[in-house]
Structure 1
């Protein structure tokens, strides 16, 4: 009997089906991965609800860009030693040839947007096929449940690298969602003099204390520390958080914007920006270098995403799982699908 593989397909906004088909076969330069776990993030919720920019999604689609698994088949030209390896992989299908790719900025590839889980079949399935060149193999004993969060961790790593933290600095993280709490873990490794987490959800902000933050603040308390921080890492993507992050930075400070903002978000005051000589960087996705950074931090034990996971569901309960994401319950952290 021919082996079958399940996949969760979003046919269009609000419409999905769980189907079975032949095992996908890796082509030249590709591997097939047996999925261990796949995270659901707000981008996946936007895909399901039909709110994602049409330039960044292609229906019908098997979502799933945050995942971990084990290589169970290799295509022509791929090292057979990869068989049986636990792994994650970069989502962006960068061309590797354009000027941005040659500079190492693979998330800015000029060949056009192409990403696993958005324009290519993703990991809400038993198996997926990806280019072997995008793999980041893990240790033989790696926790694949936690490793499913290495995609958001790579985005966070891109933000931390852009912010260039130094020991003894005052640092603030604005937003205590998945990206924010992962940022706290990575930033704590630099031994900051202060590491504050700021979030309107008191319980979420307080969770940062368990990840290495020295203090947790709500929005009202944030006004007391305006102009205090050497580095501010914004992770929320809320309408006012870009402007708020700039107000928290000291004169000559650095701000990194990591959240995905919607049209209509409050702008940054150019007068404040200029007079205070702020350096503001944006982050979109993660380069190969950021992925390497995140995987190394995970392997070394500096980064442990496991405590962020609060819910796990089988593929059959996708509708229930996706409904939790973005619903506003402060008790909901990372939601996983476990094929």
Structure 2
């Protein structure tokens, strides 16, 4: 490989630098991808601020786990026909051989945690090297900016698989951030009888209607809907939303938690849980099957993340970009880095 390749390196919490050097060399079984776009999410902000659990980050690190790009080179043993193809890739470096991986639950890999952008070099860079087995190829005409949101879309696809929506059901989505909006699009494809979004931000609620929701409510308004929904998909990760999501579900209903909760979050009432016979599941990351679902939905036009993108920055302005994420401005949606 020739030419320079830039990367954002977070040496320690609150400290980053832009490096310039030779592109990484793809090893055996790997590909080198030229990054087209990389999304910044709250997990990246937690890495930068030092709030991510120490078991799930390794400094110094090049962040960036939500990304898209084009294969530029391949390592030993990889089909050279991949060069030039648009792609995204799974973040978890699952071993593929443990019991959970053999059962298809690659996000529960027992081989130890390793993930692009957290313990392995990520995509806040001109190039990223990843195992070829993790690639999900895109259509040649795919919008690579929108495709950078396929990582959170895969998480939501995993939640939808877990929630098993059926036509005609009453469904609630708690939270209208990136995950919530993507959930609305995927759940709308299941032909629900109702698809209600709950978020305190009126502007986000209105956008959810454009994405396929039938109604938008504030948390206060949603109290009148307790016990109504067959399926509740929680995406906010706010201190109270795990408990409030269980209150929204009908007796015997299903609740899927996708938000990343912090210590001190309000617990689920075990009395309500047992008397209501709720099925409660959580989602962390996405297995390979959910990635396949998300990429297929994107290719079919069932998933259109582009309207969620509100800001794009070059690598040199990473400091400004990461400051926007979690800053509280309701007009800030998905923030992208465009190397």
The TM-score bracket by the shorter chain reads over 0.9
Paired residue secondary structure (1:266):
coil
Paired residue secondary structure (2:207):
helix
Residues 160-183 of structure 1 show CA distances to partners (whole Å, capped at 9, x for unaligned) of 110000000000000000000000
Q: Which residue of 2 aligns with 1:294?
A: 294
1:263, distance to aligned residue in structure 2 (A): 1.1
Alignment of 1:183-262 (within 5 A): 183-262=183-262
Measured in 2, the distance between the counterparts of 1:203 and 1:247 equals 25
Paired residue secondary structure (2:227):
coil
Measured in 1, the distance between the counterparts of 2:337 and 2:280 equals 36
Alignment of 1:170-185 (within 5 A): 170-185=170-185
TM-score normalised by L of structure 1 = 0.99
Residues 121-155 of structure 1 show CA distances to partners (whole Å, capped at 9, x for unaligned) of 00000001000000000011111010000000000
Residues 207-243 of structure 1 show CA distances to partners (whole Å, capped at 9, x for unaligned) of 1101000000001101010000000000001111000
Residues 2-33 of structure 1 show CA distances to partners (whole Å, capped at 9, x for unaligned) of 41100010011110000101111101100000
Q: Which residue of 2 aligns with 1:160?
A: 160
Measured in 2, the distance between the counterparts of 1:2 and 1:221 equals 58
Paired residue secondary structure (1:299):
helix
Paired residue secondary structure (1:236):
coil
Q: Does 1:308 align with 2:308?
A: yes
Alignment of 1:247-286 (within 5 A): 247-286=247-286
Q: Does 1:336 align with 2:336?
A: yes
Measured in 1, the distance between the counterparts of 2:202 and 2:229 equals 21
Measured in 2, the distance between the counterparts of 1:167 and 1:277 equals 22
Q: Does 1:122 align with 2:122?
A: yes
Paired residue secondary structure (2:295):
helix
Measured in 2, the distance between the counterparts of 1:2 and 1:121 equals 19
Cα-Cα RMSD:
0.8
Paired residue secondary structure (2:186):
helix
Q: Does 1:35 align with 2:49?
A: no
Q: Which residue of 1 aligns with 2:98?
A: 98
Paired residue secondary structure (2:191):
coil
Q: Which residue of 1 aligns with 2:112?
A: 112
Q: Does 1:79 align with 2:90?
A: no
Residues 278-319 of structure 1 show CA distances to partners (whole Å, capped at 9, x for unaligned) of 100110100000000000000000000000000000000000
* Structure 2 segments unaligned to the other structure (5+ residues): none
Measured in 2, the distance between the counterparts of 1:38 and 1:12 equals 21
Measured in 2, the distance between the counterparts of 1:23 and 1:325 equals 28
Measured in 1, the distance between the counterparts of 2:209 and 2:68 equals 27
* Structure 1 segments unaligned to the other structure (5+ residues): none
Measured in 2, the distance between the counterparts of 1:99 and 1:168 equals 36
Q: Does 1:327 align with 2:327?
A: yes
Aligned residues: 339
